[in-house]
Amino acid sequence: MIKELQVQGVFAENTYFYIDDHSKSGFLIDPGAQAGLIYDTIIRNGWTIEKILLTHGHFDHFGAAELLRERLVAPIYIYPEDARYLTDPFLNLSGNTGNPLTVPHYEDLYDGEIIRLKANSGFYLKVIHTPGHTPGSVTYYAPDENAAFVGDLLYEHGPGLTHFPGGNRKVLEESIINKIFTLPDNTVLLSGHSSPITVAQEKQLLL
């Protein structure tokens, strides 16, 4: 089961829950803001969050992560190349908001890694390194749901932004073409700041 919750910080951002219907355990992806709202949603539904997964290191995708890590006793995971973003307000873009944010506690994950639930080892996400928006941006692919959580790699109207520190337009387009476009055409791409779009629809925009 995939549930979306739009949270409002400096920017509106889509936070996602990927929950196993049988065990009611799962993953929390990109908790950008409003930790109380996210926590209340988890408790109200009786969910157990085993891991907090970040698609990349910009503050609007992790603003609630540290508080939720403490409340849920769930580790935060990020790709190593973006780990420095979590401790540098300039890189994570929070430095100019008047509320610089950092995340001191996190774990690494890697390209091709399969992240499985302890409560149900058959419930999993695959990590796909998709740099371009940031050097360590990743996509979390859920083949059983025909869905992929792409962060800010792309939106319903096309490719993501690359003018922030570490962004690279050529690399981003290569990630989309070489990684995302190899997924099945009916895969639903769930981004951080737009409505869903399928791989087939995104191909029509770019190819």
| Residue range 119-173, pLDDT digits in tens | 999 999 999 999 999 999 999 999 999 999 999 999 998 899 999 999 999 999 9
| 206: confidence class by pLDDT, cuts 50, 70, 90 | confident
pLDDT in tens, 40-81: 999 999 999 999 999 999 999 999 999 999 999 999 999 999
pLDDT of residue 70: 97
Helix (H) or strand (E) holding 14: strand 12-19
pLDDT in tens, 85-102: 999 999 999 998 989 999
Distance, CA of 119 to CA of 178 (rounded, Å): 33
Q: Classify each residue of 182-204 as buried b or exposed e, where b means 16 or more C-beta atoms within 10 Å of its C-beta.
A: ebeeebbbbbbbbeebbbeebee
- List domains and CATH numbers for the chain: 2-206 (3.60.15.10)
Closest C-alpha to 155, from 182, 204, 190, 207:
190
pLDDT in tens, 46-57: 999 999 999 999
Answer whether residue 205 shows pLDDT above 90. no
Answer whether residue 207 shows pLDDT above 80. no
- Token look-up 């049988």 returns 22
